[in-house]
Structure 1
Amino acid sequence: MKSFNILLTLALIVPVLSCSAQGKKVDEKVAPSSKIEAYYFHFNSRCVTCKTVEAQAKENLAVLCPEQMKAGTITFQSINLDDASSTAIAEKLKVSGQSLLLVKGAAQINITNEGFMYARSNPDKFKEIIKQKVDGMLK
């Protein structure tokens, strides 16, 4: 009989505790980011194509979006993955190798393949891809 009372008590208390353990939801409004951050991740050892992807991406952003670049609403950052200081941003963006990313808030567009495919062989195509992706993020 004593074990029955304990089981009954537990059966009544557990649901109450599990509901109250969730805590209160706080209505947090996070303002959407209006800033577009372009990141080019690389290593110490770089080939001609790697350097060209970085240079073309940076130049294209400067030509396509001069006002936004000047105002800081679009930024470009080259990050060396061999530097210990790059670990936090690489983990945050889930990057482990050479990558070209456009980031706006939680949205992330990876244009690495396009960069390596077109930066040297068809720079106009690469510029058009950057324009299309950035224009889409500015809306």
Structure 2
Amino acid sequence: MKTKINSKLLSFVFALLVSFSLSAQQNEKTQEGKSAKVDVYYFHLNTRCATCKAIESEAKQDVKELFGSDVTFASYNLDEPAGEAKGKELGVNSQSLIVVKGNKKVDLTNEGFLYARTNPEKFKEVIEKKIKPLL
């Protein structure tokens, strides 16, 4: 009888531990999903060409139109202290357009230079395609 009680107690404790473990894992996933927001950063220098300006304006407009407040957009000048610091934080040292969610970074710089001025509709499609899966 003592063995039967011990085995029931052991089974109960085991079930309780499994339940707590699964609950904690689910809670971590939920918190991770909520806390890891999507940010778009455009880094530039003091000297800017028309394409560089187009990348910033088109990306900013597209992010706002496509995602509203779900995705943030910020622009940084790497020649200024705040921009230099943010660039170091994200490993950026030249003109760049990057999307960041947690530890994941998606570089859209090439697409920006290819399409922002000459084919803004295509640029918008690329932005949408790359950001949607991160939400």
Question: Which of the residues 105, 115, 134 maps onto 2:102?
Answer: 105
Question: Which of the residues 60, 63, 76 maps onto 1:58?
Answer: 60
TM-score by length of 2: 0.73
Question: Which of the residues 78, 81, 86 maps onto 1:81?
Answer: 78
Q: Distance in 2 between matches of 1:88 and 1:56?
A: 24
Task: Flag as ranges the 4+ runs of structure 1 deviating above 4 A.
Answer: none
- TM-aligned CA deviation for residue 112 of structure 1: 0.2
Do residues 125 (structure 1) and 127 (structure 2) align? no
Q: Distance in 2 between matches of 1:39 and 1:81?
A: 12
* Contact 2:38 2:134 (C-alpha < 8 Å) held by counterparts: yes
Partner residue of 1:95?
A: 92
Q: Distance in 2 between matches of 1:104 and 1:133?
A: 12
Structure having the higher helix fraction is 2
Please give the root-mean-square deviation of Cα atoms over the aligned residues, in Å. 1.5
Query: What are the ranges of 5 or more consecutive residues in structure 2 without an aligned counterpart?
Result: 1-27
Question: Which of the residues 25, 46, 49 maps onto 1:47?
Answer: 49
- TM-aligned CA deviation for residue 94 of structure 1: 0.6
Q: How does 1:17-56 map to 2 (within 5 A)?
A: 31-32=31-32, 33-56=35-58
* Contact 2:44 2:77 (C-alpha < 8 Å) held by counterparts: yes
* Percent of aligned pairs sharing the same letter: 46
Q: Deviations over 1:12-49 (max 9, x none)?
A: xxxxxxxxxxxxxxxxx695343111000000110000
Give the structure with higher Rg (CA). Answer: 1
- TM-aligned CA deviation for residue 87 of structure 1: 2.5
Residue 106 of structure 1 aligns to which amino acid in structure 2?
N
- TM-aligned CA deviation for residue 86 of structure 1: 2.0
Q: Distance in 2 between matches of 1:120 and 1:103?
A: 23
Q: Distance in 2 between matches of 1:87 and 1:61?
A: 23
